[in-house]
Amino acid sequence: MLKKIAIASGKGGTGKTTVSVNLYYFIHKYWTDKVQLLDCDVEEPNDLIFFPEAREKSFNVVNQQVPKIDNSKCTYCRDCVEYCEFNAIVVIPTVKFAEVNASLCHSCGACLHACKHGAMLEYDHKIGEIKKFDLGIGLGLIQGELEIGSSMQTMLIKDVIKEYNPETEIVLMDAPPGTSCPVVTTSADADFILLVTEPTPFGLHDLQLTIELMREIHKPFAVIINKDGIGDGSMEKYLEAEDIEIIGRIAFSKEYAANYATGKILNNLDETQDSFYRNLVMNLKEKLN
Amino acid sequence: MKEITVLSGKGGAGKTSITAALVSLSERAVFCDSDVDAADLHLILKPEVKESYRFDSGYKAIIDSVKCIDCNICKEECRFDAIHTDKGFYEVNPFQCEGCRLCERLCPAEAIVSVKNENNFWYVSNTRFGPLVHARMGPGEENSGKLVTVVRRKAREIARSLNYDFILNDGPPGIGCAAISSLTGTSGVLMVIEPSMSGLHDAKRLLDLINSFNIKSYAIINKHDISNKLTDEIVQFLKNNNIPLLGKIPFDTMFTQAMIEGKSIVELYPEAKSSKVLKKIWDYILVN
């Protein structure tokens, strides 16, 4: 049975990528080799960095459909302007000017329905790429990479999360930071969400926002406290008061940070890490079965 | 007027802690939290809210299942896959709805209405260092880019009215819509780079974005002693791209301590090495 786990955080830099990459490795080791990792942080995808042996298998371009106005057919009636909720179309009848601002367009298609003169045409506008990698173990990595300058990260994420291999049993989705639409899109399909946080005031504040979101979208979740030992005790107090499960703790270590820095989190696995992730995998397996 | 946005690409590089430090060094400046999605600057600046506004982030569609005739037109035409029938009737997932109102316009039974989102707020506040414009987005909301534009516009207005000539923006992570809105039309971007392969990778993408808008940039390497190797690589990368490196800040638990106290590192530990580096950085930004 296919199960999907999203790894999210609210605050950036708390360890989503570290947990995602490790889970991929340890799910393969202790659960199933039919595991796939989806890097949904399309603005800044980093999972690939930790798999130096990765081989690119395929890539495809993702486009958004942006309308263009055919001036020979346009009657400057402004019906399209009326329909566009995103103020992306400017029509000035007196000077026969009609144009779509691609960076404001959400590609909803409303203007095509508005235009009765066949003056609205759509063309492809690149928003990013989806690359698939063989990682030697498991079913590999799928990475979305947003085109520089595009604001359509949510649209690209929607495409990334559809790309998983049909044979996959576990899909891991590494979410972008924040609590807005890109995170919702990544989590919407998930059976379970792991929230990776750090016990600092910023970490706590952003975790609270994320938990509010998880409750609103009715998703089961548990918290991993990373960099355990820094900060104060307010994180513990909050989680206890709210009766939120702490599914794991990773102690802060400057040495680990240095391994992370050089991309070597899977080359330096020790017994502590192995047993931590084995427990986490077993725990997740129980929850999801 | 000078407006600087602090960005990093990668999250957790130290944008907010560094912005807070620069804020506490500034005089006659307006501050702006452009990370509207997971805003944290207020935890240090402790604003006293003076004005509060509702941000109109658009619409969400709702289907009246009594009026619905199951024609499927809305579902077919919705490009955001926001309309679902798994419960045996047509309904809109509000988190997937972009608020384009196409379904409302096409519904032959007039069964769809659109309601305004009323979950986002923005504020004008006083802090111990000067005025702050900030926001609180409802979880899962859209259009964070538009909200960033709103708070930045207000910050400029305040700076003009007070005759201040400096605006400091704390930016969001990433390089998508919110980051773009936080940097367009600014006088410069201060990049905070963490010395890791991820930090460098993300900084490269950020720099491509900054350059595509022809905006000046400078950089700080934060937590430089986490990896000397990556710090060296970043120094080289900055040199190759003619980006001034304004300073290197060591990994310092004093930042966390200051955060716990609700203060900037410069306020709590003015004599710390990091604080001195930050002072130099601020002096540079003021005149360059």
For residue range A172-231, list pLDDT tens digits in order: 999 999 998 899 999 988 999 999 999 999 999 999 999 999 999 999 999 999 999 998
d(CA B101, CA B83): 12
Q: Do B142 and A258 touch (CB under 8 A)?
A: no
Q: Do A43 and B179 touch (CB under 8 A)?
A: yes
Residue A56 inside a domain? The answer is no
Q: Residues 6 or more apart from A53 whose CB is under 8 A from it?
A: A135, A136
Q: Residue type at A182?
A: P
CA distance A179 to chain B (A): 6
Give the residue from A117, A64, A109, A62 showing the smallest Cα distance to A89: A109
The domain at B2-56+119-287 falls in which architecture? 3-Layer(aba) Sandwich (3.40)
Residue A43 inside a domain? The answer is yes
Q: Are residues A29 and A145 in the same domain?
A: yes
Residue A149 inside a domain? The answer is yes
Q: Are residues A236 and A121 in the same domain?
A: no
Q: Are residues A164 and A271 in the same domain?
A: yes
Q: Are residues A278 and A189 in the same domain?
A: yes
Q: Which run of H or E residues covers position B56? A: none
Q: Are residues A148 and A244 in the same domain?
A: yes
- Are A45 and A145 in contact by the 8 Å Cβ rule? The answer is yes
Residue A263 inside a domain? The answer is yes
Long-range contacts of B274-281 (CB under 8 A, 24+ apart): B274/B21, B274/B249, B274/B250, B275/B21, B277/B247, B277/B248, B277/B249, B278/B18, B278/B21, B278/B22, B278/B25, B278/B247, B278/B249, B279/B25, B280/B246, B280/B247, B281/B22, B281/B220, B281/B246, B281/B247
Q: Which of A83, A102, A126 is the last residue of a domain?
A: A126
Q: Are residues A150 and A216 in the same domain?
A: yes
d(CA A168, CA A188): 18
Domain B59-116 grouped into CATH 3.90.730.10: no
CA distance A72 to chain B (A): 26
User: Residue B120: is its pLDDT beyond 80?
Assistant: yes
Q: Which of A101, A126, A151 is the last residue of a domain?
A: A126
Q: Residues 6 or more apart from B132 whose CB is under 8 A from it?
A: B30, B31, B32, B33, B41, B42, B45, B47, B124, B125, B126
Q: Take residue A228 and report the two structure tokens written for it.
A: 């355990």
Q: Which of A77, A96, A126 is the last residue of a domain?
A: A126
Q: Are residues A79 and A217 in the same domain?
A: no
Q: A236: domain range?
A: 3-51+135-288
Q: Which run of H or E residues covers position B234? A: helix B228-240
Residues 16-75 of chain A with CB under 8 A from chain B are 17, 41-44, 46, 49
d(CA A216, CA A228): 28
Q: Do B59 and A86 touch (CB under 8 A)?
A: no
Quote the pLDDT of residue A134: 98
Q: Residues 6 or more apart from B187 whose CB is under 8 A from it?
A: B1, B2, B3, B4, B215, B216
User: Residue A255: is its pLDDT beyond 90?
Assistant: no
- Listing DSSP states for B256-277 in one string gives HHHHHHTS-HHHH-TTSHHHHH
Contacting residues of A for B100, CB less than 8 Å apart: 85-86, 106, 108-110
d(CA B8, CA B203): 6
Q: Residue type at B217?
A: S
Residue indicated by tokens 């990370």: B35
Q: Are residues A38 and A174 in the same domain?
A: yes
Residue A81 belongs to domain with CATH number = 3.30.70.20
ipTM over 0.90: yes
Q: Where are the domains of chain B?
A: 2-56+119-287, 59-116
- Are B249 and B223 in contact by the 8 Å Cβ rule? The answer is yes
Cα torsion for A106, B144, B51, B20, to the nearest 10°? -150
CA distance A196 to chain B (A): 13
Domain count, chain A: 2
Distance of CA A6 to the CA centre of its chain: 8
- Whole-model pTM: value is 0.94
Q: Are residues A101 and A196 in the same domain?
A: no
Residue A57 inside a domain? The answer is no
Quote the pLDDT of residue B141: 80
Residue A165 inside a domain? The answer is yes
Distance of CA B95 to the CA centre of its chain: 21
Beta bridge pairs of residue A146 = A128
User: Residue B208: is its pLDDT beyond 80?
Assistant: yes
Q: Are residues A98 and A210 in the same domain?
A: no
User: Residue B225: is its pLDDT beyond 90?
Assistant: yes
Residue A58 inside a domain? The answer is no
- pLDDT above 70 covers a percentage of chain B that reads 100
Quote the pLDDT of residue A103: 77
Q: Do A13 and B12 touch (CB under 8 A)?
A: yes
Quote the pLDDT of residue B118: 83
User: Residue B117: is its pLDDT beyond 90?
Assistant: no
pLDDT 10s digits, B50-92: 999 999 888 999 999 999 999 999 999 999 999 999 999 999 9
Beta bridge pairs of residue B4 = B168, B188
Q: Take residue A176 and report the two structure tokens written for it.
A: 């972008």
Residue A227 inside a domain? The answer is yes
Q: Work out the pLDDT band at B140, boundaries 50, 70, 90.
A: confident
Residues 99-128 of chain A with CB under 8 A from chain B are 106-110, 113
- Are B21 and B206 in contact by the 8 Å Cβ rule? The answer is no
Q: Do A178 and B172 touch (CB under 8 A)?
A: yes
d(CA B145, CA B143): 5
Q: Are residues A103 and A241 in the same domain?
A: no
User: Residue B143: is its pLDDT beyond 80?
Assistant: no
Q: Are residues A257 and A170 in the same domain?
A: yes
Residue A235 belongs to domain with CATH number = 3.40.50.300
Quote the pLDDT of residue A102: 84
The answer to whether A229 faces chain B, any CB pair under 8 Å, is no
d(CA B225, CA A273): 24
Looking at residue B196, the DSSP 8-state letter turns out to be: S
